[in-house]
């Protein structure tokens, strides 16, 4: 058998062939897709296209996807699909694990054409992606617990880290979603009404719904923490402003009496020191009363700790 390709599965209606991604020459058996393979090797990003074969009067879908696994994010998976043939490069050799291969060997024989067979592979990819989302859900739960317990810069760093992981999951899911929609465009009702398509589409909806949900969750956590940091920054600025205003009399009078002029009448006053303190205290108290009446001495809202305690008590209530 030609080592440049392997027949993975074959039925009376379609066949699945795997090209060795490390070779350039596909052999005579693959002369019909030679142009696709030569172009595919030049592509390094997710790509999918529909080509309508006028001779065979059927659509051909060519494309490339990245591996779902974060550890092998640079692993590429090339495919070319038509009714009678599913051709892949890198799928069987490195892309699929043993469990997925066994699952495909049991589910693919039920496919009636190459498009349905390809949907079986998409289902396995979505299943792997759902496992990654389950792991991500656990991380989000820990992050929420940590955010309620402690608020610090470390929490903000964790939120950005989780957001980056979510972005990766979306970058993997969106090309898969595009692939499923492209299959629908190519085959229309002939594929949409099949059981394999409906199951794949439902699994895809699960993935996208969860990703959108966690995106909103991360956004809420980020907004909450950013608002908290803004609140704390305002409190600090408020406290520094009050301190500066209250110490203004001391600073002004200290600056005046700290001048080293030869003629300063206050120096001869017998009670000048006590008088200076009275002036300082009077103006400081006057400014304090004025700020208090204006309501500028700080936020009268409940302290953060009190708010958390009340929130915890409300969380324990049964509705």
Each of the 319 residues of the chain gets a pLDDT tens digit; together they read 445 678 888 888 899 988 876 666 555 545 456 666 767 667 666 778 888 766 667 888 888 887 655 455 566 788 889 888 898 887 776 667 788 888 888 889 889 999 999 999 999 989 989 999 999 999 998 888 887 776 666 788 888 899 999 999 998 899 999 999 999 988 888 888 999 999 999 999 999 999 999 999 999 888 888 888 888 888 888 888 888 888 888 888 777 777 766 666 666 777 777 877 888 888 888 888 888 888 777 654 444 455 455 545 555 544 3
- State both tokens at 66: 């990245």
- State both tokens at 260: 């080293």
Q: Are strands 85-89 and 58-66 parallel, antiparallel or unpaired?
A: unpaired
What 216-225 contacts at long range (C-beta under 8 Å, 24+ apart), as own/partner pairs, is 217/140, 218/140, 218/159, 218/162, 218/163, 218/166, 221/143, 221/144, 221/147, 221/159, 222/156, 222/159, 222/160, 222/163, 224/147, 225/147, 225/151, 225/155, 225/156, 225/159
Element (H, E) at 248: helix 248-257
Q: In terms of C-beta density within 10 A (0-12 exposed, 13-18 middle, 19 or more buried), how is residue 206 classed?
A: middle
Q: Are strands 15-19 and 85-89 parallel, antiparallel or unpaired?
A: parallel
Domain layout of the chain by residue ranges: 5-225, 247-312
Strand partners, 58: 53
Let me know the angle formed at the C-alpha of 36 by 186 and 17, rounded to the nearest 5 degrees.
80
Cα separation values, 256 from 156, 247, 250, 275, 276, Å: 48, 14, 10, 14, 11
Residues across the chain: 319
- Three-class SS state of 10: strand
SS3 content of the chain, % helix, strand, coil (to 5): 65, 10, 20
Contact between 33 and 106 under an 8 Å Cβ cutoff? The reply is no
> Is this prediction's pTM over 0.75?
no
- State both tokens at 164: 């980056």
- Rounded Cα distance, 92 and 90, in Å: 6
* Phi, psi at 27, each rounded to 5°: 85, 170
Of the candidates 302, 313, 319, 308, the residue with the CA atom closest to the CA atom of residue 151: 308
């Amino acid at each position: 058998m030609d080592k440049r390709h392997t027949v993975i599965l074959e039925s009376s209606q379609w066949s699945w062939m795997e090209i060795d991604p490390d070779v350039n020459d596909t052999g005579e058996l693959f002369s019909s897709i030679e142009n696709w393979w030569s172009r595919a090797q030049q592509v390094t990003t997710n790509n999918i296209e529909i080509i309508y074969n006028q001779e065979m009067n059927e659509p051909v879908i060519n494309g490339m996807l990245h591996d779902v696994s974060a550890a092998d994010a640079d692993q590429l998976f090339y495919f070319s699909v038509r009714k009678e043939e599913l051709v892949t490069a890198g799928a069987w050799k490195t892309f699929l694990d043993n469990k997925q291969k066994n699952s495909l060997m049991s589910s693919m024989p039920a496919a009636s054409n190459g498009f349905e067979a390809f949907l079986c592979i998409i289902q396995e990819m979505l299943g792997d992606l759902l496992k990654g989302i389950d792991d991500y859900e656990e991380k989000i739960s820990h992050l929420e617990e940590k955010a309620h317990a402690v608020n610090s810069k470390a929490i903000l760093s964790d939120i950005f880290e989780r957001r980056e992981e979510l972005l990766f999951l979306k970058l993997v899911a969106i090309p898969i979603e595009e692939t499923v929609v492209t299959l629908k465009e190519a085959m229309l009702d002939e594929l949409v009404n099949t059981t394999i398509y409906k199951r794949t589409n439902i699994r895809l909806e699960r993935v996208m719904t969860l990703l959108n949900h966690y995106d909103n969750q991360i956004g809420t956590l980020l907004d909450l923490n950013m608002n908290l940091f803004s609140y704390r920054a305002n409190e600090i600025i408020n406290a520094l402003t009050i301190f500066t205003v209250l110490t203004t009399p001391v600073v002004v009078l200290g600056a005046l009496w700290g001048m080293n002029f030869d003629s300063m009448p206050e120096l001869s006053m017998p009670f000048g020191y006590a008088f200076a303190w009275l002036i300082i205290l009077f103006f400081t108290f006057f400014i304090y009363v004025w700020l208090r009446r204006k309501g500028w001495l700080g936020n009268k809202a409940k302290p953060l700790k009190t708010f958390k305690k009340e929130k915890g008590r409300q969380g324990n209530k049964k509705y």
